[in-house]
Amino acid sequence: MKIKLSPELSYLIGFWRKRRSQEGFGVYGDEKQLELFTKELLTLQIATAEKILTKEDMVFTHNTAYKKFFHEIEEEELERFKYLNEYAANYVAGIFDSVGRIDEKGFVRITKINKQDEMLFLRLGFMTKRMKDGVVIGKPRAFLAFIKNYVKLHAEHPAFKLVKE
């Protein structure tokens, strides 16, 4: 079976990239993040419920085909997600749900960002400014409008209600 990239899979890859577990194919994080990843694994039929394992603050499975596919997409990130389309929006929304937040002043912050991620944001038209704890996204309204329909963990944040379609 050949794995084909879809917008939904793009979201999961973005989410997984910043929270990948040391064991198996999975993520670490708080309860909401683990629940989201588990739900996505089941929805996309990557794993069955009995194949999903948990350990303290980690959830994972042993699926080498998807793990290899996710690594390949990660290496090709700048080419795969260079257009303002549903694939890139899902991928960036996954990154945002994984390590992003909107602070009390309305700044959109993303931690654990490397130079490749900054280049991706720049190519998509979102300037970043390095801070001690990651980056701040320039044009936060445009950024939030881009990912609004694809964010899952932060979808209820009041800032998304202020953003126009």
Residues 69 and 119 in one domain: no
pLDDT attached to residue 100: 96
**What average pLDDT does the structure give for the chain?**
93
Residue 132: predicted pLDDT: 85
Domain annotation covers residue 81: no
**Same structural domain, 65 and 111:** no
pLDDT digits (tens, 9 = 90+) for 11-47: 999 999 999 999 899 999 999 999 999 999 999 999 9
Kindly state whether residues 67 and 121 are assigned to the same domain.
Answer: no
Same domain, 17 and 63: yes
Residue 44 located in a structural domain: yes
Give pLDDT, residue 106.
Answer: 85
- What does the alpha-carbon distance between residue 88 and residue 40 come to, in Å, rounded to a whole number? 18
Domain interval for residue 138: 99-159
pTM: 0.94
| C-alpha separations of 126 from 49, 92, 152 in Å | 38, 11, 21
Q: Do the domain assignments include residue 63?
A: yes
Q: Is residue 60 assigned to a domain?
A: yes
Q: Is there a domain that residue 118 lies in?
A: yes
Q: What is the pLDDT of residues 42-72, one digit of tens each?
A: 999 999 999 999 998 999 999 999 999 999 9
pLDDT at residue 9 is higher than 60 = yes
**Domain count across the chain:** 2
Residues 54 and 13 in one domain: yes
Question: What percentage of the chain exceeds 90 in pLDDT?
Answer: 84
In the predicted structure, residue 165 carries a pLDDT above the cut 60? no
Residues 63 and 105 occupy one common structural domain: no
Among candidate residues 75, 108, 127, the one where a domain is terminated: 75
Give, in order, the Cα–Cα distances in Å from 10 to each of 89, 159, 161: 9, 23, 24
